[in-house]
């Protein structure tokens, strides 16, 4: 069993990356082969709307024709049994790198039929890890719930299965005294980091275990 995780955050040691590492550790504890990819290390762009993936009889039908750092990654994904995508929320959405990655990952497998169907060769498990500055009580009014539901729905359509873990009210800075962020209750955020974030880490670890064990 192979699980691949993708970090859509530019930070490699903070909230999103930490949770993804827990997923990877959980899967590895069950004997899974794992890989964590930091998208900000790669050079690529989003979909260029060439539609090579849609041309009848084309050599790139069902696959992305653009050649860049994502080309071998997408080939490796074809061999994976589970995908975990992680991103902080920036201005109400996943990061630009994650969005570009998604465009290139999902669009080639989407068939413009009624109803739409997927060309992906098999069903695999997928998961999302989200981290965000906003508290859970504000997620609905900010539109985050719709984002989470939409992303799960499209992953289910292409791959067959998806679930999400949300880590709210994240600690953004190691030292708030060095930044202009006076609207936040730093003590409350630090308390949540100590008390709630470890629970999020456990959820992420359990996700990795369940995916690897085939119980998710």
Cis bond leading into 115, ω under 30°? Answer: yes
Residues of the chain with pLDDT under 70: 215-216
Nearest CA among 133, 150, 127 for reference residue 206: 127
The model's pTM: 0.93
Residue 216's pLDDT is 53
Domains of the chain, first to last: 2-213 (3.40.50.360)
Residue 31's pLDDT is 94
Residue 40's pLDDT is 97
> How far, in Å, CA of 109 to CA of 87, rounded?
22
> How far, in Å, CA of 83 to CA of 36, rounded?
10
CB 46 within 8 A of CB 35: no
């Amino acid at each position: 069993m192979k699980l691949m995780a993708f970090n859509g955050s530019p930070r490699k040691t903070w909230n999103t990356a930490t949770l993804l590492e827990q997923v990877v550790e959980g899967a590895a504890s069950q004997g899974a082969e794992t890989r964590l990819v930091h998208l900000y290390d790669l050079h690529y762009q989003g979909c260029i709307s060439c539609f090579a993936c849609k041309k009848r009889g084309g050599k790139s039908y069902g696959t992305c024709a653009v050649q860049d750092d994502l080309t071998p990654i997408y080939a490796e994904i074809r061999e994976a049994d589970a995908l975990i995508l992680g991103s902080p929320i920036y201005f109400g959405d996943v990061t630009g790198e994650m969005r570009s990655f998604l465009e290139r990952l999902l669009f080639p497998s989407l068939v413009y039929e009624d109803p739409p169907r997927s060309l992906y060769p098999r069903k695999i498990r997928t998961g999302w890890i989200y981290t965000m500055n906003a508290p859970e009580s504000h997620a609905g009014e900010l539109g985050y719930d719709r984002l989470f539901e939409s992303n799960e729905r499209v992953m289910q359509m292409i791959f067959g299965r998806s679930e999400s873990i949300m880590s709210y009210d994240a600690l953004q800075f190691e030292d708030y005294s060095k930044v202009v962020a006076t609207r936040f209750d730093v003590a409350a955020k630090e308390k949540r980091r100590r008390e709630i974030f470890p629970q999020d880490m456990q959820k992420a670890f359990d996700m990795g275990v369940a995916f690897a064990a085939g119980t998710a």
